[in-house]
């Protein structure tokens, strides 16, 4: 198992939340039961620098050590941030923890930048909403030229040959997936605070009036702007309040994770 640490000048980024862990994983496939995590990159802003760590499994049998090292390193953190990680990275990590009998805590809050940006794809005139398209929109140029699917084949070849060039290509790809997340986080925050940015699936007027009434009746205050809620999120929040299971924390999670 190999661990690398990089310190990157962070003067181009204005994210104040130093407690946020930005992360991304590379796996040997999509089957959470049988495929493995081969690489995790994760970064944190510390004293004006963006510190990124990479943990690479030189052998499939090192997955447990890789995961344990990562989880021990972030055990004091409460927020992690990814790009489409709620759909893939987090459930994959949870399943592998279960399979490997690893009993360590994960951060409570997950900020998924894809889910924040995706509703505004039309307003931004983005052809797609994948990570590389958003980076290109922001003028970010990457050095790596592969995607996650190609990295699987490269990793299998690396296991057979030990070719360090293959390993370096995989690590560069995953490194750059994490390198620009703070800037994309800043971009997502800008979108959410821009009153001229309209969701493609915005809450309806009828939903808004009903939800506002329910919030008043139950004495619940939200930090999330009603203007930025989706119809889907509004419906989930209304049902949660009517079922008597809602509090402000749970409603904020619904608001931020539904798209």
Given a contact cutoff of 8 angstroms between Cβ atoms, the answer to whether 171 and 202 are in contact is: no
The residue-averaged pLDDT of 32-41 equals 96
Lowest mean pLDDT among 164-168, 243-247, 253-257: 253-257
Instruction: Read off the pLDDT band of 17 (50, 70, 90).
Output: low
228 and 181 within one domain = no
The residue-averaged pLDDT of 9-24 equals 68
Where residue 85 sits, what CATH number does that domain have?
3.30.420.10
168 and 75 within one domain = yes
Is 240 a member of any domain?
A: yes
Q: Dihedral sign for Cα 121, 125, 130, 131, please.
A: negative
Q: What is the rounded distance in angstroms from the CA atom of residue 136 to the CA atom of residue 79? A: 26
pLDDT at 12: 46
Is 199 a member of any domain?
A: no
134 and 172 within one domain = yes
The residue-averaged pLDDT of 172-195 equals 93
Is 39 a member of any domain?
A: yes
117 and 50 within one domain = yes
pLDDT at 1: 74
Instruction: Read off the pLDDT band of 140 (50, 70, 90).
Output: very high
Q: What is the rounded distance in angstroms from the CA atom of residue 219 to the CA atom of residue 209? A: 15
With 50 as the cut, is the pLDDT of residue 146 above it? yes
Alpha-carbon distances of 236 from 71, 82, 154, 244, 245, rounded to whole Å:
31, 23, 42, 12, 11
147 and 50 within one domain = yes
199-209 pLDDT per residue, tens = 888 889 999 99
User: Is pLDDT larger for residue 227 or for residue 85?
Assistant: 85
Lowest mean pLDDT among 2-11, 96-105, 174-183: 2-11
Instruction: Specify the number of domains making up the chain.
Output: 2
With 80 as the cut, is the pLDDT of residue 97 above it? yes
69 and 166 within one domain = yes
pTM for the model stands at: 0.83
pLDDT at 259: 63
With 80 as the cut, is the pLDDT of residue 165 above it? yes
Is 200 a member of any domain?
A: no
With 90 as the cut, is the pLDDT of residue 106 above it? yes
| CB proximity list for 243: less than 8 A, separation 6 or greater | none
pLDDT at 249: 83
Q: Determine the structural domain holding residue 86 and report its residue range.
A: 2-193
151 and 253 within one domain = no
Query: What is the separation of C-alpha 141 from the centre of its chain, rounded to a whole number of angstroms?
Result: 20
Q: How confident is the prediction for the chain on average, in pLDDT?
A: 90
User: Is pLDDT larger for residue 187 or for residue 13?
Assistant: 187
The residue-averaged pLDDT of 122-135 equals 94
């Amino acid at each position: 198992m190999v661990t690398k640490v990089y310190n990157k000048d962070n003067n181009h980024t204005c994210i104040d939340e130093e407690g946020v862990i930005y992360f991304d994983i590379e796996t040997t496939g999509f089957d959470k039961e049988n495929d493995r995590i081969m690489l995790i990159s994760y970064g944190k802003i510390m004293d004006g620098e963006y510190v990124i760590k990479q943990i690479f499994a030189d052998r499939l049998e090192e997955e447990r050590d890789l995961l344990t090292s990562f989880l021990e390193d972030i055990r004091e953190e409460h927020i992690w941030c990814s790009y489409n990680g709620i759909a893939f990275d987090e459930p994959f990590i949870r399943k592998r923890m279960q399979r490997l009998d690893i009993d360590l805590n994960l951060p409570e809050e997950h900020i998924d930048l894809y889910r924040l940006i995706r509703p505004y794809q039309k307003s931004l005139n983005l052809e797609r909403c994948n990570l590389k398209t958003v980076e290109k929109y922001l003028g970010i140029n990457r050095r790596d030229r592969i995607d996650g699917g190609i990295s699987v084949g490269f990793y299998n070849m690396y296991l057979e040959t030990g070719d360090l060039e293959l390993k370096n290509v995989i690590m560069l790809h995953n490194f750059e997936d994490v390198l620009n997340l703070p800037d994309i986080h800043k971009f997502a925050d800008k979108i959410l605070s821009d009153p001229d940015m309209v969701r493609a699936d915005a809450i309806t007027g009828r939903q808004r009036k009903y939800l506002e009434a329910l919030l008043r009746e139950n004495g619940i205050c939200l930090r999330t702007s009603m203007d930025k809620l989706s119809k889907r999120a509004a419906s989930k929040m209304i049902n949660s309040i009517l079922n008597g299971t809602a509090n402000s924390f749970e409603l904020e999670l619904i608001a931020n994770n539904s798209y």
